[in-house]
Amino acid sequence: MRILVTGGAGFIGSHYVRTLLGGGYPAYAGAAVTVLDKLTYSGNRDNLASVSDAVTFVEGDICDTDLVEQLMPGHDAVVHFAAESHVDRSILGAGPFVTTNVIGTQVLLDAARRAGVGRFLHVSTDEVYGSIDEGSWTEEWPLQPNSPYSASKAGSDLLVLAYHRTHGMEVVVTRCSNNYGHYQFPEKVIPLFVTNLIDGEQVPLYGDGGNIRDWLHVSDHCAGIQLALEKGRAGEVYNIGGGRELTNRELTEVLLEATGRDWSAVRPVEDRKGHDRRYSLSHEKISDELGYAPAVTFEAGIAATVAWYKENRSWWEPLKTRAAL
């Protein structure tokens, strides 16, 4: 079996690749892996250093039709992580998000269809649902994205599902809640706050800090993706949640305690434009159908994540310096 993983040098994609090649997904033992990654600011080949000898790595853009058409034949499945994913960056400029997330997905779908690829798994986000005051989203919830990023992901989701209905492709879409863990680029809230706090700097807290997110450890997310890849029904969407909701203020308090800082390290800032108030995913469908259950408690996951950033300054410090975060 041969798997094409797009965005496999990024945070979530590299975790998936390391786990697969490390024997973490027994049904895919012995699978060969091709990683296609553009190596933009958030892609890092160092994330794959431990499995570099086992990966066929191709540096390239999913929007490059010729490259993708040449690369796709011979693969049995595609796991599509590659995306522009930072909301703040999408507010500053939506163009790269539409190009990569929508057009890039279309290029991959067309190439996979022509090559006869057996299964196409598209990794998406809970942000496509918008914001929810009470209860939790199921997969049947209407898409109501509120940022250019989430709108571009909603567009790519619909495109993927359309290829199932139009062409009969074996596609599956997963939508996850907020991820955290090792190797996450330090523009995202947990690694940004942790690394700032480690360095004695302040952290920016949007608005009143009351925005609520469901937190999911990257290993649980990737386990859910693998279940959907192996056993998910074609043409279906599966939510993958962590089951731990926190306000941003509560999350900040956890990170302050974990790094030995206090609230003097917090700098209130003007709220983000169009900031969704609450995300909450129901993962009942993937649990009932495929046997998914989060395995990493938030307390254990955060402790391990903070420890990793404390011990791996050589990984994140150059990234923060280069990006001037």
Is 64 among the catalytic positions?
no
> How far from 181 is each of 184, 191, 292, CA to CA, in Å?
6, 8, 19
Strands 203-206 and 77-80: unpaired
DSSP state letter for 49: G
Reference 5, options 17, 21, 23; nearest CA is 17
Per-residue pLDDT tens digits for 282-308: 999 999 999 999 999 999 999 999 999
pLDDT > 90: percent of the chain: 88
Structure tokens at 193: 């706050």
Question: For the chain, what is the radius of gyration of the CA atoms?
Answer: 19
190 contacts 305 by C-beta, under 8 angstroms: yes
> How far from 165 is each of 81, 169, 235, CA to CA, in Å?
22, 8, 7
Q: Which of 129, 149, 180, 238 is catalytic?
A: 149
| pLDDT for position 67 | 98
Side chain identity at 189, as an amino acid letter? V
| pLDDT for position 90 | 67
61 contacts 38 by C-beta, under 8 angstroms: yes
pLDDT at 120 over 80: yes
Per-residue pLDDT tens digits for 310-321: 999 999 999 987
**Taking the CB of residue 251, how many other CB atoms lie within 10 A of it?**
23
d(CA 147, CA 129): 11
pLDDT at 86 over 80: no
Per-residue pLDDT tens digits for 239-298: 999 999 999 999 999 999 999 999 999 999 988 777 889 999 999 999 999 999 999 999
Q: Which of 61, 126, 139, 276 is catalytic?
A: 126
Mean pLDDT of 133-145: 96
d(CA 61, CA 71): 12
What are the chain's domains? 2-177+217-240 (3.40.50.720)
pLDDT at 105 over 70: yes
d(CA 315, CA 312): 6
Helix axes 313-323, 298-311, angle to 10 degrees: 80
pLDDT at 190 over 60: yes
| pLDDT for position 112 | 98
Helix axes 218-231, 11-21, angle to 10 degrees: 70
Mean pLDDT of 116-124: 98
Is 238 among the catalytic positions?
no
- What DSSP line would sit under 148-173, residue for residue? HHHHHHHHHHHHHHHHHHHH---EEE
Q: Which of 37, 61, 84, 127 is catalytic?
A: 127
Cite the DSSP H helix spans in 22-103.
65-71, 87-92, 95-98
Per-residue pLDDT tens digits for 210-222: 999 999 999 999 9
- Token match 């794959």: residue? 48
pTM of structure: 0.95
| pLDDT for position 325 | 46
Is 230 among the catalytic positions?
no
d(CA 145, CA 154): 7
